[in-house]
Every structure is written in C-alpha cells, then in structure tokens.
Structure 1
C-alpha cells in the first residue's frame, strides 16, 4: 500500500510499504507549511497548507502532479 506524509516545510511524500519496510516513492514541495493530508475517493491527494490553504495533487504511483 501507499502512505502519504505531510512533512511541514517539505511538502508531501509518498511511501510504499511491502509488508516489512517503507520506501519513499515520490515527493512534491508545496512551498509552505504542510499540516495534513487526505485522499479523496477518486485518488486525489489533498494537502492542507498553513500559508495558503488546500492543494490537490494527482498521484500515479511514481510521482505527483497538480
């Protein structure tokens, strides 16, 4: 599976989990202070940013795009 991490001044990161360890698979900097992350039913990754609100990203398993 995939875990998304809001990483304060480093944007959002995606990690894959193979049952025993995590691997960083993607990263995108949002230029602000990432506070929280959620995933919509369509797979959209939403990132809450304390400086300018909410951002939405697509994630294809390898990278983010907006």
Structure 2
C-alpha cells in the first residue's frame, strides 16, 4: 500500500520514446519552415572559392 494514499503513475513514457517524439517534431518544424521560406542551399563552385581566397590574401 502506498504511504501517502495516492496512486502510482501508470504508463509513463520511456526516455527513448520521448527522444523519438522530440526529433520527429523538430524535423516536422524544419520542413514547415523550409516550405515557407524556401532558402537557397546551393554551394558555390569550388573554383570561385579558390579565387576568393587568393584575392583576400593579396589585398
């Protein structure tokens, strides 16, 4: 019998299930944001990156 007369909690979620829910909600939120804002995720060509480094080192 419980000392304080209350019921013990039943059906408490496990840590693994909580992590799955958190990750799924983060991915869903990111998907919504990317569908609204449509960010440009293109990387610049590698040749241009080399030219930029050379011009900044010379100047």
Instruction: Flag whether TM exceeds 0.5 (same fold).
Output: no
Q: Structure 1 or 2: larger strand share? A: 1
Which structure is richer in relative contact order (CA contacts within 8 A, separation 6 or more)? 1
TM-score by length of 1: 0.14
Give the number of the structure whose residues are more often helix, by fraction: 2
Larger Rg: 2
